[in-house]
Amino acid sequence: MQIRAFGCSPCLATILFLACAGLAGQTNAVGDEQQFLREQIARLQREIKDANDRHAAELEKLQEEVESLKLKVAQPNETAATPERDQGEPGALSRIAQSFNPDISAIGDVLFHAGKNEQGENKDQFSFRELELALGSAVDPFGRADFFVGIEEENGEWHPNVEEGYFTFDTLPYDLKARAGKFFSAFGRANQFHTHAMPWVDKPLMIRNYFGEEGMSEPGAEMSWLVPNPWEKYIELIFQVQNNGDEPSFAGGQSRDLMYVAHLKNFFDLDSDSSLEVGGSLATGANAATGGGHQTNLEGVDLTYKWRPAQQGLYRSLTWMNELLLSQKDEGAEDTVDSRGLYSSLEYQFSRRWSAFGRYDYSQFPDDNDSHENAYTGGLTFAQSEFCFWRTQFTHTEGDGVSVPGSRDEFFLQLDFGIGPHRAHQY
Amino acid sequence: MSANFISGFSRKAFLFVLVLDTFLVCSSPQCLAKDKLNVVTTTTNLASIAEAVGGDHVNVSAISTGREDPHSIAAKPSYMLKAKKADLWIRIGLELEIGYEGLILEGSRNARIHVGSPGHLDVSEGIAPLEVPTGKVSRTMGDVHPLGNPHYWLDPSNGTIIARNICRRLKQLDPEHAGDYDRNLAAFLLNLDNAMFGAKLVEAVGGEKLWKMQSDGTLDGFLKDQTLSLDGWLAKLKPFEHAKIVTYHRSWPYFARRFHLDIVAELEPKPGIPPGPAHILEVINTMKSDKAGLILMEPFYNRADADAVAEKTGAKVVVAATSVNGQEGADSYIAMIDNIVTRLGSALGEVSK
- Do B239 and B325 lie in one domain? The reply is yes
CA distances from A239 to A179, A182, A223, A282 (A): 10, 14, 5, 10
- Do B182 and B237 lie in one domain? The reply is no
- Do B150 and B240 lie in one domain? The reply is no
- Do A54 and A170 lie in one domain? The reply is no
- Do B55 and B185 lie in one domain? The reply is yes
Report the pLDDT value the prediction gives residue B10, as an integer from 0 to 100.
54
Count the domains in chain A: 2
- Do A73 and A213 lie in one domain? The reply is no
**Least confident interval from A263-267, A275-279, B3-7, B147-151:** B3-7
What is the CB neighbour count within 10 angstroms for residue A147?
A: 18
Backbone angles phi, psi at B260, to 5 degrees: 55, 50
Report the pLDDT value the prediction gives residue A64, as an integer from 0 to 100.
62
- Do A116 and A76 lie in one domain? The reply is no
Q: Per-residue confidence at B3, pLDDT binned at 50, 70, 90?
A: very low
- Do A77 and A112 lie in one domain? The reply is no
- Do B42 and B182 lie in one domain? The reply is yes
Tell me if A61 is assigned to some domain.
Answer: yes
- Do A253 and A120 lie in one domain? The reply is yes
Query: Cβ separation of A91 and B132 shorter than 8 Å?
Result: yes
Report the pLDDT value the prediction gives residue B86, as an integer from 0 to 100.
97
- Do B160 and B271 lie in one domain? The reply is no
Tell me if A263 is assigned to some domain.
Answer: yes
Q: Show which of A25, A48, A82 is a domain's final residue.
A: A82
Residues from chain B that touch A307, judged by Cβ atoms under 8 A, are none
> Do the beta carbons of residue A163 and residue A214 sit within 8 Å?
yes
Tell me if B84 is assigned to some domain.
Answer: yes
Mutual orientation of helices B156-173 and B44-54 as an angle, nearest 10°?
60
- Do A206 and A145 lie in one domain? The reply is yes
- Do A221 and A288 lie in one domain? The reply is yes
- Do B259 and B311 lie in one domain? The reply is yes
* pLDDT tens for each residue of B235-269: 999 999 999 999 999 999 999 999 999 999 999 99
CA distances from A389 to A112, A198, A291, A392, A393 (A): 14, 12, 45, 10, 13
**Which regions of chain A are under pLDDT 70?**
1-31, 53-54, 57, 60-61, 63-99, 290-292, 422-424
> Do the beta carbons of residue B10 and residue A211 sit within 8 Å?
no
CB within 8 Å of chain B, chain A residues 129-188: 141, 144, 168, 170-172, 175-177
- Do B44 and B181 lie in one domain? The reply is yes
Residue % of chain B over a pLDDT of 70: 90
Closest approach of A161 to chain B, Cα-based (Å): 25
Average pLDDT over chain B reads: 90
Domain membership of residue B157 as a residue range: 37-126+139-189
Query: Cβ separation of B25 and A339 shorter than 8 Å?
Result: no
Query: Cβ separation of B76 and A275 shorter than 8 Å?
Result: yes
What pTM was estimated for this model as a whole? 0.81
- Do A77 and A111 lie in one domain? The reply is no
Count the domains in chain B: 2
Query: Cβ separation of B24 and A314 shorter than 8 Å?
Result: no
CATH (domain of A403): 2.40.160.10
- Do B179 and B260 lie in one domain? The reply is no
Tell me if A90 is assigned to some domain.
Answer: no
**CB contact, 8 Å: A38 with chain B?**
no
Closest approach of A184 to chain B, Cα-based (Å): 17
- Do B261 and B147 lie in one domain? The reply is no
Q: How many CA atoms lie within 13 A of A378 on its CB side?
A: 1
Report the pLDDT value the prediction gives residue B306, as an integer from 0 to 100.
96
Residues from chain A that touch B262, judged by Cβ atoms under 8 A, are 75
* pLDDT tens for each residue of B113-144: 999 999 999 999 999 999 998 888 888 888 88
CATH (domain of B324): 3.40.50.1980
- Do A168 and A292 lie in one domain? The reply is yes
Beta bridge partners of A269: A275
Q: Which residue has the higher pLDDT, B5 or A324?
A: A324
Chain A interface mutation, best of B31, B78, B259, highest count of A Cβ atoms under 10 Å: B78
Closest approach of B251 to chain A, Cα-based (Å): 13
- Do B149 and B235 lie in one domain? The reply is no
Tell me if A91 is assigned to some domain.
Answer: no
Closest approach of B77 to chain A, Cα-based (Å): 6
**CB contact, 8 Å: A96 with chain B?**
no
Closest B-chain CA to A269: B78
Tell me if B215 is assigned to some domain.
Answer: no
- Do A75 and A124 lie in one domain? The reply is no
Tell me if A97 is assigned to some domain.
Answer: no
- Do A268 and A180 lie in one domain? The reply is yes
Query: Cβ separation of B135 and A91 shorter than 8 Å?
Result: yes
Backbone angles phi, psi at B126, to 5 degrees: 95, -5
Tell me if B184 is assigned to some domain.
Answer: yes
Tell me if A270 is assigned to some domain.
Answer: yes
Domain membership of residue A8 as a residue range: 1-82
ipTM score: 0.85
Tell me if A93 is assigned to some domain.
Answer: no
How far is Cα A269 from Cα A234, in angstroms, rounded to an integer? 9
Which residues, other chains included, contact B333 with Cβ-Cβ below 8 Å and sequence gap of 6+?
B45, B48, B49, B52, B153, B159, B324
**Least confident interval from A179-188, B19-28, B167-176, B326-335:** B19-28
Report the pLDDT value the prediction gives residue A79, as an integer from 0 to 100.
34
Report the pLDDT value the prediction gives residue A87, as an integer from 0 to 100.
35
Tell me if A135 is assigned to some domain.
Answer: yes
Which residues, other chains included, contact A385 with Cβ-Cβ below 8 Å and sequence gap of 6+?
B139, B272, B273
* pLDDT tens for each residue of B29-42: 444 446 899 999 99
Report the pLDDT value the prediction gives residue B11, as an integer from 0 to 100.
59
Report the pLDDT value the prediction gives residue A2, as an integer from 0 to 100.
41
- Do A77 and A210 lie in one domain? The reply is no
Tell me if B255 is assigned to some domain.
Answer: yes
- Do B149 and B252 lie in one domain? The reply is no
Q: What is the DSSP letter of B251?
A: T
